[in-house]
Amino acid sequence: METATKTLEATFAPPTTHKESKLYDLLETYRDSLQEAFDAGASTMSAVSDIVTPYDLPYQSKAALCNYVPKLRKTYNANELDDDHPIRLTNQAAKFDHSEERDYEFTWWVPRPGRGTNFWIPLRINPEQEELWHDLVNEDAKAGQIRLQKHRKNWVLHVTVEYPVEEPATDGDATHIGLDIGETALITGCALKDGSPTDPLVRSGSRAKHLRKEMYTTLKRLQERDASEWRTDERYDHYQNALTDIVEKASREAVEYARQFENPVLVMENLTYIRERLDYGKYMNRRLHSWAFARLQGRIEDKATEAGVPVEYVNPAYTSQTCHSCHRIGRRDSQAEFRCPHNDCHVSTFQADINASANIARRVDPWGESVPLDKAERDDSPRDGSGSDTATTHREKSVPAQMTLTAFQESKSSASDD
């Protein structure tokens, strides 16, 4: 059996004054210990443990900090900490209960330091995730990391779960469907039939780009006016939710597109460490950097796994500048157009993103992994400098996190969804 991962979300039912006071104490103590360990440059689990042990925290939080803090600089290249870090807890804190007799059927046993200090808190769950909550309570799904975040009005709990799904399989010849993930065109899909691009899908990124720019402008203006923290958070959450909705719709549409073909196999580029060349200043870069194409790929993979559609990853080099027909290097003179200069090739000009997605689909064949040798290594990007992305190394298994900035709209079937 294959496994898939998903992040469950629940909002606390309004806690009593006493319980909320305990939650605030936990949050403040956690952030203080995180800041001290970070400022001390603790780079090993034992070094973090020496710092956080004296703090009045549950052991599940201390263990999570010992694992998380060393990654901040090594993995995330963090130079400073945001002020709104959630409380992280290991899966040892995943103690939930269910009863149909309660107004709020699901509850969480909130860990506290010391013996006899834990308390139950009712949860308002997402109804679409109810089946997985039952699996979690019945131990049919395995809990991963837990995060507790305080928003202006609510306490929000995120629980990563791993659960079994049917192993994707194909009967007979597979239809390889390349997905090109970008910014101007968030998703371009193209199926290969007898080596030819067939019935492509293009989903525009204009709506998401507009939201991201509007968010940056709005938040910068609020900062300059020294607006209240709740007002800034409210606007940030508004944009975050809108962009998350776009990504969810885009990933669902990509899988639905694939399922219309016989024996589909989705093929995507390995974009584990993709970065975005934006410079809105240090503060906003931290916010906007979560516009990660790999995040969208993860949501596509999750939905594909649930739908029984296999997913493959291939080398991203030169997919934008290789002709899908003759497999030789051509030119991408603009974001929208690919040009093949070889006279013996029937392709002269072609829509650039569809050409790239066809190349991605072809590369699932190991013979398609090699880069043409008639050109030396060079930057694989439009000559006008737009849409320039980089990527290296093998993509790790997706672990869904809270969706933040993401993006896309406009396709033949859902241009009006948003």
Q: Is 175-363 a domain of CATH 3.30.420? A: yes
DSSP category for residue 326: T
**DSSP H or E run through 269:** strand 264-269
Question: Strand pairing of 185-193 and 196-204?
Answer: antiparallel
Q: What is the DSSP letter of 128?
A: G
Helix (H, G, I), strand (E, B) or coil at 89: strand
Q: What is the pLDDT along the chain (418 residues), one digit of tens a residue?
A: 577 778 888 999 999 999 999 999 999 999 999 999 999 999 999 999 999 999 999 999 999 999 999 988 876 677 788 778 899 999 999 999 999 999 999 999 999 998 889 999 999 998 888 999 999 999 999 998 899 999 878 899 999 888 887 765 555 678 899 998 877 788 899 998 877 788 888 888 788 778 878 888 888 888 888 888 777 878 877 887 888 888 889 999 999 999 999 889 999 887 654 443 334 444 444 444 445 566 688 888 888 888 888 888 887 777 777 887 787 888 777 667 788 888 778 677 777 888 888 888 888 764 444 444 333 333 333 323 232 222 222 333 333 333 322 222 233 333 333 3
Domain spans in the chain, listed from the N-terminal domain onward: 3-164, 175-363
**How many other CB atoms sit within 10 Å of the CB of residue 37?**
24
Name the 3-class secondary structure at 173.
Answer: coil
Looking at residue 271, its pLDDT comes to 60
The amino acid occupying position 80 is E
Per-residue confidence (pLDDT) for residue 205, from 0 to 100: 79
Q: Can you give the pTM of this predicted structure? A: 0.56
Query: Could you tell me if 38 and 52 are in contact, meaning their C-beta atoms sit under 8 angstroms apart?
Result: no
H or E element at residue 255: helix 229-259
Q: Count of residues for the chain? A: 418
Q: Report how far apart, in Å, the C-alpha atoms of 348 and of each of 15, 85, 200, 341 are.
A: 65, 52, 19, 7
Is residue 257 within 8 A of residue 201, CB to CB? The reply is yes
Which pLDDT value is given to residue 169?
A: 59
| Separation CA 68–CA 88 (nearest Å) | 9
The backbone torsions φ and ψ at residue 354, rounded to the nearest 5 degrees and listed phi first, read: -70, -40
Compute the 3-state secondary structure of the chain and give helix, strand, coil in percent, each to the nearest 5. Answer: 35, 25, 40
Q: Are the C-beta atoms of residues 267 and 312 closer than 8 Å to each other?
A: yes
**Nearest by Cα to 417 from 247, 288, 180:** 247
| Lateral strand order in the sheet of 175-181 | 196-204, 185-193, 175-181, 264-269, 311-314
> Distance between CA 359 and CA 262 in Å, rounded?
20
Q: Are 299 and 254 in contact (CB under 8 A)?
A: no
